[in-house]
Every structure is written in structure tokens, then in C-alpha cells.
Amino acid sequence: MHFIEAAVERGDLVEVPMNPQYHLGELYGGRWFKCPIDNSVWRLIPPDVPFLGVFERVVN
């Protein structure tokens, strides 16, 4: 998570509101981030044992 926070501080990622309708893989919530260079949106769902967590690109 430190990597993500550092990217936000540098402006490489911008935190954006999550879409509550999005549930790819039946995984809900998390924090969402947008890349200002290519406008891609990513979501971070932190680990919760035994789930390892995920950082993945949001599919439109």
C-alpha cells in the first residue's frame, strides 16, 4: 500500500470515487485510482486473510 500512497503523493495516481455497481469477480469496494497519463482506472482491495488482496485495472 505504501507504493500506492507514494504514487498519489507524486501525482502519478489520483484517488477517485468507486463505482458501487462494479463487482468484477464478485469483489466489491476498495479504493479506486485514476492514472492521469492514460486515464486508466485501477482498484485496490487490501488483503484480508486468507484473501491476498488485488490491484487491478477496472474494466469498462
Is the pLDDT at 60 greater than 80? The verdict is no
- From CA 55, how far away is CA 45, in angstroms rounded? 6
Is the pLDDT at 28 greater than 80? The verdict is no
pLDDT in tens, 38-57: 999 999 988 889 989 999 99
Is the pLDDT at 22 greater than 90? The verdict is no
Name the residue ranges covered by the structural domains of the chain.
Answer: 2-57
pLDDT > 70 fraction of the chain, expressed in percent and rounded:
97
C-beta contacts of 22-26 below 8 A and 24+ residues apart: 22/58, 24/56, 24/58, 24/59, 25/54
Is the pLDDT at 21 greater than 90? The verdict is no
Q: Tell me the pLDDT of the chain averaged across its residues.
A: 89
